[in-house]
Homo-oligomer: A and B are copies of this chain.
Amino acid sequence: MNKRHTKDLLYEEVARIGKAVSSPKRLELLELLAQGEKTVDALAAEAGIDIKLASAHLKVLKAARLVEAQRDGRFIAYRLSGEDVSALWVKLRTVAEEHLVELKVAMEQIFAAPEKLDAETRRSLMDKARRGDVVVIDVRPSAEYANGHLPFARSMPLNEIRQRIKELPADKDIVAYCRGPFCMMSAEAVALLKEHGYRAQKIADGTAEWQAAGLPLAES
């Protein structure tokens, strides 16, 4: 019946989510999981941390119900427990980009040109891709592409580009994307393509950003 006490309980529950997203490593894990289901092993490797530590962080995320685990034979696969979780990650990152000058500066130094998209740009990119005026390539590992990708995008994983570069039309603009604004794969892909004489550019969006903007993904 104590009003103060019940209120405290409510905010404490929400703070469980806040605590879960208060660690850089956990945020990185969330972003990786936004690309699709992954094993502890794969997550630890990609995040550059010990498996034990990854497991501990995943446990925290699981306690906050942001991720779910499922045993699949010898491995345990983790996945986000809903689309809203990846939307939360996008929101957090967007607020950080908007308000933290340090982050803005860091990103400008790393990625020469910021390639933020607005609703209009996203739509027109899709139109051009549909008509075949540009070729949109998804440079993430193919399993992530299979889990969901931008409409009209074709899979061209970063580590296969060198071998498969001939598959790309030399007379069209190429637009590369990867896991999101923090991911460096699309920038590397663009550099590689330009070296070979292609007209290429990257966009900051990954599938999570695309979806958070209310646009549909394609599967298979």
Binding site for B on A (CB under 8 A): 3-4, 6-19, 21-25, 27-28, 48, 64-66, 81-82, 84-85, 87-88, 91-96, 98-103, 106-107, 110, 182, 184
Contacts and interface: CB of A to CB of B under 8 A. Distances in A.
A18 B7 contact: no
A103 B64 CA distance: 11
Contact of A91 (B7, B13, B25, B87): B87
B14 A27 contact: yes
A136 to B, nearest CB: 24
Residue with the greatest number of chain B CB neighbours at <10 A, chosen from A11, A23, A82, A182: A11
28 contacts: A4-B48, A6-B110, A7-B28, A7-B182, A8-B24, A10-B103, A11-B24, A11-B27, A11-B28, A13-B100, A13-B102, A13-B106, A14-B96, A14-B103, A15-B21, A16-B96, A17-B99, A18-B18, A18-B21, A18-B22, A21-B22, A65-B99, A65-B100, A66-B95, A84-B95, A84-B98, A87-B91, A88-B95
A152 to B, nearest CB: 27
Nearest to A5: B48
B95 A85 contact: yes
Contacts of A103: 10, 13-14
A120 to B, nearest CB: 17
B24 A14 contact: yes
